[in-house]
Chain A
């Protein structure tokens, strides 16, 4: 196994056990749950009480999970760079659309510039101004 880098919006880059094989990024099946929050079970890919049936016989081969097939099984977008062993799996557009369309402010936790993390909901029931800017 060689190092793979797994990227997601909430955690940023994280090392993962796996390897590249041609156009595929393969992840060690026994590390899948810690990496993605999804566990392989006989009934499919499961997270908590939710299980997604998997009909793709090529998803897991010899203890390795094909990362793009994993994303496809969950209906999620994925981008791989097999030359560097990087994979990013995102959220479905419909999952991101829901709260925005309903006018609900999604919660988030991000690192603070002076250390530690900040969770938006910690501000409680008061008016809030969210300002996004760039330092360039």
Chain B
């Protein structure tokens, strides 16, 4: 288990939400681009994602190399200029928040959201650093925005789940 405080993997692999999985084959090629895949069903009532679907898909790929049928929600997310700026603003904001500069941190978090308003790792991921509850009112407000925008980004490993 590694710690990715600066969100390097999000930048390298185009990760916009968690939990996200990426399958990588023996030749170091991305066999399956990012998809949402909870490890268990703790939040199934909320997500409607059946975790066993991904587990079964993964076992099949490991044993036989077979890839699952497309869900229709696959999307390779290539970082844009605005998203790179959003990540820098988030990085500065997170550092300043950790160092006790809450007011300056907020300036940078707000800019990060302006640059990447639908990135969950920024919208939801910064809530605790901004003194907000990641399961609270602001999270559900963001959920509403994201849903209204057509749930942009990649979907889940479960083709029967709405997101």
A interface residue numbers (CB < 8 A to B)? 5, 7-10, 12-13, 77-79, 81, 83-84, 86, 88-93, 96-97, 99-101, 103-106, 108, 110-114, 118, 121, 125-134, 136
Q: Does B89 contact A (CB under 8 A)?
A: yes
CB of A31 to closest CB in B, whole Å: 19
Establish whether residues B89 and A108, one from each chain, have CB atoms under 8 Å apart when the complex forms. Answer: no
Establish whether residues A112 and B2, one from each chain, have CB atoms under 8 Å apart when the complex forms. Answer: yes
Q: Please, how many angstroms separate the alpha-carbon atoms of A84 and B101 in the complex?
A: 8
Establish whether residues A132 and B95, one from each chain, have CB atoms under 8 Å apart when the complex forms. Answer: no
> What does DSSP make chain B's interface, helix, strand, loop or mixed?
mixed
The answer, among B25, B27, B79, B134, for a CB contact under 8 Å with A93, is B79
List the A side residues contacting B27 at CB < 8 Å: 125
Q: Does B144 contact A (CB under 8 A)?
A: no
Establish whether residues A84 and B85, one from each chain, have CB atoms under 8 Å apart when the complex forms. Answer: no
Q: Report if A130-B13 is in contact (Cβ < 8 Å); known contacts: A103-B30, A136-B134.
A: yes
The answer, among A106, A127, A133, for a CB contact under 8 Å with B25, is A127
Given contacts A9-B8, A125-B27, 19 further A-B contacts (CB under 8 A): A9-B7, A12-B6, A77-B81, A79-B88, A84-B104, A89-B88, A99-B12, A100-B79, A104-B28, A105-B22, A105-B28, A110-B4, A111-B3, A114-B1, A125-B26, A128-B25, A132-B22, A136-B128, A136-B135
CB of B148 to closest CB in A, whole Å: 24
CB of B6 to closest CB in A, whole Å: 5
List the A side residues contacting B26 at CB < 8 Å: 125-127
CB of A43 to closest CB in B, whole Å: 27
List the A side residues contacting B161 at CB < 8 Å: none
The answer, among A12, A88, A101, A127, for a CB contact under 8 Å with B24, is A127
Q: Which residue of B lies closest to A118 (CB)?
A: B2
B residues 131-152 touching A (CB-CB < 8 Å): 134-135
Number of interface residues, chain B, beta carbon within 8 A: 60
List the A side residues contacting B62 at CB < 8 Å: 127
Q: Please, how many angstroms separate the alpha-carbon atoms of A130 and B24 in the complex?
A: 8
CB of A8 to closest CB in B, whole Å: 8
CB of B35 to closest CB in A, whole Å: 11
List the A side residues contacting B24 at CB < 8 Å: 105, 127-130
Q: Which residue of B lies closest to A76 (CB)?
A: B84
Q: Please, how many angstroms separate the alpha-carbon atoms of A83 and B22 in the complex?
A: 39
Mask of B1-41 contacts with A, CB within 8 angstroms, 1/0: 11111111111111100111111111111110000010100
Establish whether residues A96 and B4, one from each chain, have CB atoms under 8 Å apart when the complex forms. Answer: no
The answer, among A106, A112, A129, for a CB contact under 8 Å with B12, is A106
List the A side residues contacting B37 at CB < 8 Å: 131
Establish whether residues B78 and A97, one from each chain, have CB atoms under 8 Å apart when the complex forms. Answer: yes
The answer, among A86, A104, A127, for a CB contact under 8 Å with B61, is A127
Q: Does B80 contact A (CB under 8 A)?
A: yes
